[in-house]
Amino acid sequence: MPHPEHLLLRSLARQPVERTPLWLMRQAGRYLPEYRALRGSFSQLTEFFRSPQAACEAAMQPLARYPLDAAIVFSDILTIPDAMGLGLKFLSGEGPRFEHPLRTARQIRALAPPDPEQELGYVLEAVRMTRQALAERVPLIGFTGSPWTLAAYMVEGRGGNNFPHARALLREQPQAAEQLLDTLATAVALLLGAQAQAGAQVLQIFDSWGGLLSDEEYRRWSLEYLHRTIAALPTTCGGKPPPLIVFVRDGGRSLTQLAASGCAAVGVDEQLSHWPPELDIVVQGNLDPALLSTDPKQLDIAVDTVLKRFANAPGHIFNLGHGVPPPTDPALVEVLVDSVRQRSQRPSAH
């Protein structure tokens, strides 16, 4: 059972908290020397996150340094397409690449959602090992990419800024796009449900490329399949699912629709400068990650700004607008954590 004192779970349940809970996207990452040392023992990043023991160690490293309020399983949003046989590789300086990108309707028809226990068992074992290592110190977050974000990578074959092949699929082969996204909605729901059953106490969906789409496109090609994924979670989780956070890069224009999707919280990036007072949902975010290269005084002022921005939200989880940048000085992360903990203190919630 979740520990009753977990701030993150209380905040997601809209219960009183004595301070704002804090965790960081990519809190296990290259800014930590101990992470770089561990990463150096693997020739490929895919080998790293396929090792449950190494994944558990990576997830625990930031908690040894900082009093964070959650751990997140060390994995990658692209494990599902990798399990579908697209051949995931990470090239130095270029990010993820697929050896076999999807470009035809025939390729898409041949896809099937992977069985989490059989084909993604290393993710679930990492969840189990990390949950055990945490010993209820803080809750564990499981995650995956959104159907649209996964589709964008799978069709394009790599990361980028515009994803021309993926966007062309939506325009030129809409039936194939619908079939791909439907398959991915099922796959995402299955993997999230399996992570919950393996011990994840919170779930997060990363819609990293939702901002590429127009409002109408977003509703059709991302939000629709997020709704399908969320609706399937009670079944794939084997009962009531853990609270779900949906993070959308450049998703400020879609907050109202996201709030109605059934998620417990929306994650927002640094571009959102104003929280709509009528929006009735917990928010996660949204310090600009670039501020982790500034001086401690400016960082402290920025923390205060973010805390005030969301003071009237039903609940607030402090996080970055994106992941911790690799060049970040670990000492500045300590400044950030201390600032959030001190500035967000409230009278006892008990």
Q: Is the dihedral of CA 180, 123, 33, 304 positive or negative?
A: positive
3-state secondary structure at position 301: helix
> Which residues on neighbouring strands pair with residue 141, listed in sequence order?
72, 202
3-state secondary structure at position 122: helix
Q: Whose CA is closest to 111, among 142, 71, 150?
A: 150
Q: Whose CA is closest to 227, among 194, 188, 195, 198?
A: 188
3-state secondary structure at position 240: coil
Which positions are annotated as active-site residues?
Answer: 26, 30, 39, 76, 153
**23, burial (CB in 10 Å: exposed 0-12, middle 13-18, buried 19+):** buried
**26, burial (CB in 10 Å: exposed 0-12, middle 13-18, buried 19+):** middle
2: its two tokens:
């979740």
User: Is residue 139 within 8 Å of residue 203, measured between CB atoms?
Assistant: no
